[in-house]
Structure 1
Amino acid sequence: MGRGHTLSVALTTLLVMIMLGSSGTPLGLEKINTASTHTESGINAEFNHPSIIVEGSQIEPLTFNAVSAFGSEAEGDCTPPIICPQPEPPIKVADIPSDGVLGQNFGMLAMDGMLYFDANTPKSQLWQYDPTTNSISEITSISQSSSYGGQVAKYGGFAILDHTLYFDATESASGTELWAYSPLNETYWMTGDIRPGSGSSKPGSSTGLVPMSGKLWFNAEDGTQGNELWSYDPDSGTAEMVTDLSPGSSGSSPGVFSGLVPISDRWPMFDADDGTTGIEPWVHDTLTGSTNLLGDINPGTSPSLPGYLLPFMQVGEHIVFDASNQTHGTELWAIDKTSQNWEATLVCDIWEGSPSGQPNSGSDEPAVIGDRIYFSARDQTHGSELWSFNSIDQTCTRNSDIRSGSQGSNPGSVSTGFHNIAGIIAFSANDGTSGNELWLYSPENSTSWLAADLTSGAISSYPGQYSGFTTTDEGHAYFTASSSGSGYEPHVIDATDFSTSLLADIRAGPHSSESARSTGYVIMNRDMYFDAKESTSGSDLWVVRNATNNSAVAWTVSPALPFGLEISPVDGTISGTPTQVADLTTYQIDATNSSGVTVSIYIEIAVLADNDLDGIPDTVPDDLSSYTDLISDSDDDNDGISDSVEVNSGSSPLDVDSDVDGFCDGPVEVSGVCTYGPDPYPMNPNFPVDTDGDRLADSDFDGNGPAVADDDDDNDGFIDSEDAFPLDPSDWLDTDGDTVGDLSDTDDDNDGVDDVDEHIAGTDSTSVDTDDDGICDGPYARQSCTTGPDPYPIDPLLPMDTDGDGLWDNLPHDAADNFVEDFDDDGDGLDDTVETGTGFYISPSDRGTDPLNPDSDGDGFCDGSNEVAGTCSRGEDPYPFDANIPFDRDKDRLADDVDPQWPAFYGDEDADDDGDGYTDSMEYKCDSSALNPNDVPDDLDGDFICDDEDPDMDGDGSFNSEDRFPEDPNDWSDFDNDGVGDNSDLDSDGDGLANEYEHPECILSLDCDMDGTLDASDPFPTDPTEYSDTDNDGIGDNSDPDSDGDQICDGSTSFPGICSSGPDAFPYDPAAYLDTDGDGLTDYLIEGIPSTLVIDLDDDGDGWDDLEEIRCRSDPLDSNDVPSDVDNNKECESVGAQVSETFAVFGAFIALILVVGLFITPLIRDHIRKRVESSHSEDEG
């Protein structure tokens, strides 16, 4: 077979059934029968044939190989003569007309082999790039006004759902609304006017447009309910508000800080303010329709700002994010997905206490590798460094200390986060020596290292600041950076050897093409696309051919797979989550090697619908049933009524509310759709009548439902909430809970006595203890009473049990055998036989005390040795008939003094005789009376420790020896030693800045950010990277491209609208910027601006004064251009001779000219300045 021919051999037919669902776990391959794999074509399908794949949230990958056909070439071998595609240098593939800007509003994305982006030419519209024709075309012509166009994707950006592109756009008549474009019929349209009229709903302005669960999710403002969460259903073509978290016109403003983050294609997570709890984390369940608060992290109306620095991100079984409260500051929080009730919990207090650890992903996503997520954070000792969270043991670990000390290396701050390159984490960091450069960290060996110092020395290359990072399967990452000799241009790092290289200097020299600034690097098939500019205006579309998927064998499929499934062009693996229902279809899988030889295999795929997302297909067609054990879902809409019953009754088996009246067809409620049914009129939207539209029927005509609408479903006179049998009108009460109604039960209270006998005895047949004396009416013990029967069931005083110990004082002659008589009726520890009740003590066996009163003399001390709670403390009372012995001054049932001659007295001696709260020993030490409750010692904090003995007399938690104000509970420290406590001092640290104007963390610090500049002089007291602002523009000099605001950039890179390219020789002095000879003296000073600089009289440093060079017609700004001076007398020859001769004749006249020259010097120097500025302008062009 010759090269260039195609071998298409259909050798095996594979049946693959994929069912739509949402369980999130692949169910794997269910082998029904097997067949050997045919390999004559050279392709082997590595799964059972025929086979069934049941889809949860993703399918089990379908894998192939072509080793039999192509040998090692199919396994990635690129040894010659095998030819593997190699990345090519960047080339421009399309010019954007009229110096237009590509992707300025949102960027660019790929869909179905095409690129889509917004472009301003100068009107903003949607554009398309077709790689097959290498051409671009303008798709939309939406008009907001004559100059602005449609402002495509300005607020919500782009989103793809079911092969349709969605975006926001602005039209003069409807404002900013949601639009769509379908490549299938090449049409675009506005999906709906959420905010009717010319007002704008601005869909996705804070959340973006997020595809999930077959719908599009976004925030929007309808002009009535305020800014809330909405969804758009492409099947019905309608948008609806998902939930109104903050009723009224203000709205909850979802996603302002965190955006909207989809979790497992089911749960959108976002921040919102419901008007009560402040800005807190929320989640919506697309399956149940419920929306829930995940916790009031910062209690009350104060915001916790969840996901502001570290967006919601799943790692393992946890969803992590940053949030802030007053106790811990900004720290790492998480939600356990496995818990029944999702609730946010603090998992790491990185900087313990109220200071903030500030877990941060650097304006983009953190990196997740295995069960760990990587981000930046700071603690008490270290500045911002690389940290990670382990979802297994829920611990945080610092992984680097690139810049020792409190300043930190600020990882990820300019690389837009942390990026996983073949298991290695790439990020920007500043070690204090090399500037912001590219660093790598290996989780395997726990080491970090500088990948490349692209701009030598302390100058920063800012890797990924413009573009972010785009990674490939081969371990490459593309990013924009500024390397030595070039501006911001595309670079690549290869994870196989960690080498970094410049792809191309698109805009040669120090100027920048600002590659991927608007679009990022977008990979489509094997190629990578991005925006770049060759001049100061506009940007164009560029490509790196073969940037990824560089295997010698390329795989394709035809026709296109169901949406959500994709084939790998590298190894042919089919994977993904199908979201599009498809009939049984045959697909041709082709593998083509580097010589152009193609081999093929055929498979069949069917995607079965699952309306209620319960993991069971709605219907398994008969022609497919022989391949699977799956059966059709008997309740497709999961409303609690089988499909067959719904078909017979006329309701829809695919709709929980067939007549859309707010009452569910079946007994299952669907939050936000309909209330509990069953609807007695499932096909009549006018019945049941619901006048106020609250989904509660005005009346229930037939007594059969809907249950939630009727207070009494069975019309028995008892409301459902109090009716034990709400659907049985013959019974409503079940006293004993035995599921037999009282009207049918012969023993309602199940006490062992029939109801008829209880009525005869006068007892209550619904109460196990009619007289509530703790003895059951019948022979059975129950929770509320002991075993009976009670011989006096309707007399609570009989049988008597004085001490309540469950033993009767006197046992009736007819009492049941299970009862025992009490021989100590009052429970004081003395037997009734010795408590004779005579009032006189005769002997230990005849004490005369009352057998029914544990304290015969009422002095609070029991007759016997037992304590009787609430009556008396332990005795024995040595004088049971004398209320004054033992003596108890404060009546606390503790004897003031215990006589050693009372051997049978078990009570405790009172440590505080007068009961004033101070022990007798304490009062003795503090010179107050232990017998007078009105005489108490000095006690400032009222802790019952007198001041002389109290180590913290004011009770402020600070020991007296360490307390600057030991008698003031409101102050204990004085940071600035001004005699005013820190809590009372309006300027606690004495730095001249009032506390109310300082950051809370800086009130007790003279240099809060520890950058060496005192807060009083530091315009950025909490930013360790900034400490000066020469031009007072609010941007620190380290970040400001034009520190002194003279419109000349500090460096060589220009920033349009801010400054022209420099460098500025005097970046911190607005009066000067030029020093031609680099001698530290300025060529000139701008008039009217104060400066300490000295003007250089010899700008080019060639030894000739500027005025002399002008007089001698040489260039004062070119050190190589000097006047002719043969005799080296520092006077040019031609002019020198004339001067000598002229002075001889016209000396006085020449002297006059020289004096006049002193006055025109400023005019000459101004001419030089204009010439230099003109030169700079030409260089920038």
Structure 2
Amino acid sequence: MKKLLFLLTLMSHQAIGQPALRFERLDLNAGPNSSSPNNFCIVGNKLYFTATTPATGSELWVTDGTVAGTQVLEINPGADGSSPSSLHEMAGKLVFLASSPTSGMEPWISDGTVAGTQLIKDIMPGTGNSTSELDGAVLNGKMYFAADDITYGREIWVTDGTTAGTQMLIDIRPGFNSSHAAKFITYNNKVYFSAMTDLTGLELWATDGTTLGTQMVDSGGPVSPDVFTKALSKLFFRATKGVGTGDELWVTDGTTAGTQMLKQINPPGSGTTNEFVEFSNNVYFSASDGINGAELWMSDGTAEGTVMVKDINPGVLPSGPVEFEEYNGKLYFNADNGSQGRELWVTDGTASGTQLVTDIFSGSIGGHPRNLIVYKGYLYFEAIQNGTAGRQLFISDGSISGTKVVAPTATPPANTVNNPPPALCVYDSMLFFQARYDTTGFELWLLTNDTSTNIRNHELTASVRIYPNPSNGTFTIETGNKTFTTANLEVYDVAGRLILSQSLASTKENIRLPETAKGMYLVKIAVDDALYATQLIIE
């Protein structure tokens, strides 16, 4: 099909102490309707994602961050789309789920080209779906996942990306009934997962990729294991002990003896929640001991070292810490202290060092920060700014004054970011996200920090001066470098158009721009292998 893509480049409002940010929009769906890009997955030097247009429906897309390098990999020609989901990397290719008129929802593989995007195997022959989620893990270049071929129920399968190399590994629960294999994760050269038999119920299993090497880890041990997380050289997870116990923190080293409940945090009920993260030689998570609500806990892998960090919301009501992300030697997360709603918090692992960063949305509703990610020395996330502006993209250096909305110079509408927001993704020195900054709907945007892309940026930044700024179009540049091999100047307007490009012959030069409109411009100065970028105001 013919592909129409539009690239819009804008600069951000730059606060003191924050980087110069460049925003670019890849308009996949021309006009006011949204393409709603989502499900980002990096494979090699390509970024895959899903998006929707009236011509293609929901399909798989691939990009290298440029208009020319962005294309749809259409599986189901026409407006119906193939509804791709569950994108994973396997041996340098993308494995995902998609449907076609003849095969239903099945596993596919792609090398980033239309010709190289193919059905792996029609596991459930015909238009039936073999699975609704590709919850798989990769071991030695093969993916292990669960599927239903209508004969053996939902069991563990393995694929190398070819039809012949895709087969059921073992029928754990013989016959038509399913073992409900799920929650796959690679750990210590095996794939761990949960599965059930008629005798044991849902237990912890592991496989080395062979039929004989697929076994239950601990018969009579953890029941209904899930939320697997590799940390402290072990596998942490949530499970019950059976009747009389709720979900608690468990750990395994892959052996029966090394599989145990770490601590029964809440004896009469469930102690742990659905997220674990490793930070500073501990595992952090949310848990309730039955006296306090769900609060911030940490564990060093021992019962004695599994303790509550802080009762953020004092009493029985929970603060419910979630959305953990490490940044600058501390752990940031989303929590509710009972009076300010869900806001951005930080901890260094101590009670006194666990504090509210800033009250993004004043009042009891809270900003609900989500999708925390570190990009080029700053913490980015999406949060509700206020009742009018809605959900926006934020940048933070960990301080109150350094936590602000970032946006292009175009006035952002309310709810710039979709709610619930899809995850942010860092790819090839760019931050990708879904947003709506104009009348084009929710589209694919990429953000570039122009001031930190080269080795000697900080050295050059300290030595470059541009004055006067603001100016009337005539200004002076001093590089401060006594000697250099090459130096070049480029000036762009807010639409990304190149206004001026010239070489610099000396460390101090007077520059006059062609006749230009008043407003903000981006100045880029490249001196040898370093880059300096800043804003210039023309009055």
Using the size of structure 2 for normalisation, the TM-score is: 0.67
Determine if the alignment matches structure 1 residue 214 to structure 2 residue 92. yes
What SS does the corresponding residue of 1:334 show, helix, strand or coil? strand
Note the alpha carbon deviations across 1:328-372, whole angstroms, 9 max, x for none.
1111111135xx556531112345xxxx811121xxx52432144
Comparing both chains, which one has the higher relative contact order based on Cα–Cα distances under 8 Å and sequence gaps of 6 or more?
A: 2
Which of 59, 69, 72 does residue 177 from structure 1 map onto? 59
Note the alpha carbon deviations across 1:257-301, whole angstroms, 9 max, x for none.
56233345x222221101111011112124996123222122212
2:492 paired residue number: none
**Letter of the aligned partner of 2:180 in structure 1?**
L
**Letter of the aligned partner of 2:326 in structure 1?**
T
Task: Verify the 8 A CA contact 1:506 1:534 in the aligned structure 2.
Answer: yes
1:378 paired residue number: 241
1:140 Cα deviation from its structure 2 partner:
1.3
2:375 paired residue number: 524
**Letter of the aligned partner of 1:276 in structure 2?**
T
2:46 paired residue number: 164
Task: Verify the 8 A CA contact 2:170 2:211 in the aligned structure 1.
Answer: no
Distance between the aligned counterparts of 2:305 and 2:171, measured in 1?
Answer: 38
1:136 paired residue number: 23
Distance between the aligned counterparts of 1:445 and 1:171, measured in 2?
Answer: 53
1:149 paired residue number: 34
What SS does the corresponding residue of 2:354 show, helix, strand or coil? strand
Task: Verify the 8 A CA contact 2:238 2:250 in the aligned structure 1.
Answer: yes
Note the alpha carbon deviations across 1:55-106, whole angstroms, 9 max, x for none.
xxxxxxxxxxxxxxxxxxxxxxxxxxxxxxxxxxxxxxxxxxxxxxxxxxxx
Determine if the alignment matches structure 1 residue 262 to structure 2 residue 138. yes
Task: Verify the 8 A CA contact 2:231 2:283 in the aligned structure 1.
Answer: no
Structure 2: 5+ residue runs without aligned partners?
Answer: 1-5, 13-18, 400-425, 430-453, 464-479, 481-539
Note the alpha carbon deviations across 1:188-219, whole angstroms, 9 max, x for none.
32123x11222221111xxx222332221111
**Letter of the aligned partner of 2:372 in structure 1?**
Y
Note the alpha carbon deviations across 1:515-544, whole angstroms, 9 max, x for none.
11xxx1011121110011122353111111
Task: Verify the 8 A CA contact 1:451 1:498 in the aligned structure 2.
Answer: no
Distance 1:130 1:444, change over 3 A: farther
Distance 1:236 1:490, change over 3 A: same
Which of 111, 114, 122 does residue 244 from structure 1 map onto? 122
Task: Verify the 8 A CA contact 1:375 1:418 in the aligned structure 2.
Answer: no
Distance between the aligned counterparts of 2:47 and 2:280, measured in 1?
Answer: 31
Determine if the alignment matches structure 1 residue 347 to structure 2 residue 222. no
What SS does the corresponding residue of 1:275 show, helix, strand or coil? coil
Distance 1:499 1:292, change over 3 A: farther
1:198 paired residue number: 79
Distance between the aligned counterparts of 1:449 and 1:431, measured in 2?
Answer: 10
1:49 paired residue number: none
What SS does the corresponding residue of 1:248 show, helix, strand or coil? coil
Task: Verify the 8 A CA contact 2:155 2:172 in the aligned structure 1.
Answer: yes
Which of 347, 356, 369 does residue 515 from structure 1 map onto? 369
1:446 Cα deviation from its structure 2 partner:
4.1
What SS does the corresponding residue of 1:506 show, helix, strand or coil? coil
Distance between the aligned counterparts of 2:352 and 2:163, measured in 1?
Answer: 48
**Letter of the aligned partner of 1:259 in structure 2?**
D
Determine if the alignment matches structure 1 residue 292 to structure 2 residue 167. yes
Larger radius of gyration: 1
Q: After the TM superposition, which residues 646-795 of structure 1 pair with which residues of structure 2 at under 5 Å, given as runs?
A: none
2:397 paired residue number: 545
2:71 paired residue number: 189
Q: After the TM superposition, which residues 1086-1105 of structure 1 pair with which residues of structure 2 at under 5 Å, given as runs?
A: none
Q: After the TM superposition, which residues 40-55 of structure 1 pair with which residues of structure 2 at under 5 Å, given as runs?
A: none
Note the alpha carbon deviations across 1:1060-1093, whole angstroms, 9 max, x for none.
xxxxxxxxxxxxxxxxxxxxxxxxxxxxxxxxxx
Distance between the aligned counterparts of 1:167 and 1:273, measured in 2?
Answer: 26
Task: Verify the 8 A CA contact 1:179 1:188 in the aligned structure 2.
Answer: yes
Task: Verify the 8 A CA contact 2:62 2:112 in the aligned structure 1.
Answer: no
Task: Verify the 8 A CA contact 1:317 1:391 in the aligned structure 2.
Answer: no
1:237 Cα deviation from its structure 2 partner:
4.8
**Letter of the aligned partner of 2:214 in structure 1?**
A
Aligned length: 404
**Letter of the aligned partner of 1:222 in structure 2?**
S
Determine if the alignment matches structure 1 residue 278 to structure 2 residue 278. no
Task: Verify the 8 A CA contact 1:257 1:305 in the aligned structure 2.
Answer: no
1:408 paired residue number: 270
Note the alpha carbon deviations across 1:176-197, whole angstroms, 9 max, x for none.
21122332455532123x1122
Distance between the aligned counterparts of 2:257 and 2:302, measured in 1?
Answer: 19
Determine if the alignment matches structure 1 residue 326 to structure 2 residue 184. no
Cα root mean square deviation, aligned: 3.5
Distance 1:232 1:130, change over 3 A: farther
Task: Verify the 8 A CA contact 1:350 1:396 in the aligned structure 2.
Answer: no
Distance 1:419 1:532, change over 3 A: same
Distance between the aligned counterparts of 1:539 and 1:223, measured in 2?
Answer: 38
1:484 Cα deviation from its structure 2 partner:
3.9
Which of 484, 492, 497 does residue 346 from structure 2 map onto? 492
Distance 1:252 1:274, change over 3 A: same
Distance 1:386 1:162, change over 3 A: closer
**Letter of the aligned partner of 1:223 in structure 2?**
P
Q: After the TM superposition, which residues 676-1075 of structure 1 pair with which residues of structure 2 at under 5 Å, given as runs?
A: none
1:1114 paired residue number: none
Task: Verify the 8 A CA contact 2:97 2:134 in the aligned structure 1.
Answer: no
Task: Verify the 8 A CA contact 2:239 2:248 in the aligned structure 1.
Answer: yes
Distance between the aligned counterparts of 1:477 and 1:315, measured in 2?
Answer: 24
Determine if the alignment matches structure 1 residue 454 to structure 2 residue 308. no
**Letter of the aligned partner of 1:544 in structure 2?**
S
Distance between the aligned counterparts of 2:391 and 2:324, measured in 1?
Answer: 20
2:360 paired residue number: 506
What SS does the corresponding residue of 1:477 show, helix, strand or coil? strand
**Letter of the aligned partner of 1:210 in structure 2?**
H
Which of 149, 166, 186 does residue 314 from structure 1 map onto? 186
Q: After the TM superposition, which residues 77-92 of structure 1 pair with which residues of structure 2 at under 5 Å, given as runs?
A: none
Distance between the aligned counterparts of 1:129 and 1:469, measured in 2?
Answer: 30
Structure 1: 5+ residue runs without aligned partners?
Answer: 1-124, 548-562, 567-587, 599-1181
Task: Verify the 8 A CA contact 1:528 1:545 in the aligned structure 2.
Answer: yes
Distance between the aligned counterparts of 2:248 and 2:7, measured in 1?
Answer: 41
Distance 1:511 1:589, change over 3 A: closer
Distance between the aligned counterparts of 2:350 and 2:292, measured in 1?
Answer: 24
Note the alpha carbon deviations across 1:695-728, whole angstroms, 9 max, x for none.
xxxxxxxxxxxxxxxxxxxxxxxxxxxxxxxxxx
1:174 Cα deviation from its structure 2 partner:
2.3
Distance 1:173 1:249, change over 3 A: same
What SS does the corresponding residue of 2:23 show, helix, strand or coil? strand
Task: Verify the 8 A CA contact 1:294 1:343 in the aligned structure 2.
Answer: no
**Letter of the aligned partner of 1:456 in structure 2?**
P
1:163 Cα deviation from its structure 2 partner:
3.6
Task: Verify the 8 A CA contact 2:61 2:71 in the aligned structure 1.
Answer: yes
Task: Verify the 8 A CA contact 2:83 2:99 in the aligned structure 1.
Answer: yes
**Letter of the aligned partner of 1:138 in structure 2?**
R
Task: Verify the 8 A CA contact 2:229 2:237 in the aligned structure 1.
Answer: yes
What SS does the corresponding residue of 1:521 show, helix, strand or coil? strand
Task: Verify the 8 A CA contact 2:217 2:256 in the aligned structure 1.
Answer: no
**Letter of the aligned partner of 2:299 in structure 1?**
Y
Distance between the aligned counterparts of 1:238 and 1:221, measured in 2?
Answer: 16
1:227 Cα deviation from its structure 2 partner:
1.5
Distance 1:441 1:320, change over 3 A: same
1:394 Cα deviation from its structure 2 partner:
6.0
